[in-house]
């Protein structure tokens, strides 16, 4: 450092403290003009670094109170930047969750984590009825792997993994329109309807993303043909 080689006075002469405060202000202004929150925090963090240099060299003795306050601001920005990076990436997710996230592509990674935090997971060792036709529904189901049978009007259709079940009841508050049975060996993810609905009500972004997933899923299930019938299945 310049202070180690030449002393504080020489370092101050080579780089006047006012330069640091001007640079700090410049980075603050650039940060506040940007619309991206992560970029804003990076600029503010850089500006804070120059403020620390300014407080160190502006007088004969460093202004430690101002330096400590700036360090606290820097620490808060570092923490918030980490949270933002985590919300925007799959950092820290297991390989299983990353594979599942690919199927929830309308959600941002942070929103996916929030939604999955309230979910329950199960691996079925026997055939299990998830929904009973004409019965009230209090759960939303997703089948990441395995087979599901949809029964209605005496007819049964098989559906492979990658679908939601109970989403119409979730959206409309109506009873199940079909009986849905997950076959043995299937993996099931389930949410309490009220809990998930509360998350969606608090976050329009999450709500829109989940509804977009429902729409894609319904379109895919409409292609399922019932035996000896041209009607389509909707669970």
Domains of the chain: 2-88 (no CATH), 95-221 (2.60.120.10)
State mean pLDDT over 219-229.
66
pLDDT at 120 over 90: yes
Question: What mean pLDDT value characterizes the chain?
Answer: 86
pLDDT at 123 over 90: yes
pLDDT at 2 over 80: no
Bridge partners of 159, per DSSP, are: 148
Assign 232 a pLDDT band (cuts: 50, 70, 90): very low
What is the structure's pLDDT at 221?
76
State mean pLDDT over 9-36.
79
| Nearest one of 119, 228, 128 to 179, comparing CA atoms | 128
pLDDT at 160 over 90: no
| Nearest one of 119, 125, 121, 120 to 183, comparing CA atoms | 125
What is the structure's pLDDT at 230?
44
What is the structure's pLDDT at 14?
47
State mean pLDDT over 102-130.
94
Q: pLDDT (tens digit, 9 = 90+) per residue, 61-83?
A: 899 999 999 999 999 999 998 88
Task: State pTM to two decimals.
Answer: 0.70
Dist CA 178 CA 175 (whole Å):
9
């Amino acid at each position: 450092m310049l202070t180690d080689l030449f002393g504080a006075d020489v370092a101050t002469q080579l780089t006047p403290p006012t330069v640091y405060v001007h640079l700090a202000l410049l980075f603050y202004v650039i940060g506040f003009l940007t619309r991206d929150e992560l970029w804003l925090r990076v600029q503010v963090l850089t500006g804070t670094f120059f403020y620390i240099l300014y407080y160190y060299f502006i007088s004969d003795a460093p202004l430690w109170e101002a330096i400590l306050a700036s360090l606290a601001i820097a620490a808060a920005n570092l923490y918030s930047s980490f949270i933002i990076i985590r919300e925007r990436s799959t950092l820290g997710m297991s390989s299983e969750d990353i594979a599942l996230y690919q199927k929830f592509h309308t959600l941002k990674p942070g929103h996916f984590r929030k939604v999955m935090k309230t979910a329950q997971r199960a691996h079925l060792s026997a055939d299990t009825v998830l929904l009973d036709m004409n019965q009230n529904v209090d759960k939303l189901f997703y089948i990441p792997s395995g087979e599901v049978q949809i029964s209605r009007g005496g007819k049964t259709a098989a559906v492979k993994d990658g679908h939601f079940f109970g989403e119409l009841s979730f959206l409309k508050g109506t009873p199940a329109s079909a009986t849905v049975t997950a076959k043995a060996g299937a993996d099931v993810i389930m949410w309490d309807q009220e809990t998930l609905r509360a998350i969606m009500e608090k976050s329009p972004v999450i709500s829109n993303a989940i509804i977009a997933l429902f729409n894609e899923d319904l379109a895919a299930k409409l292609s399922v043909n019932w035996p000896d019938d041209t009607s389509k299945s909707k669970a």
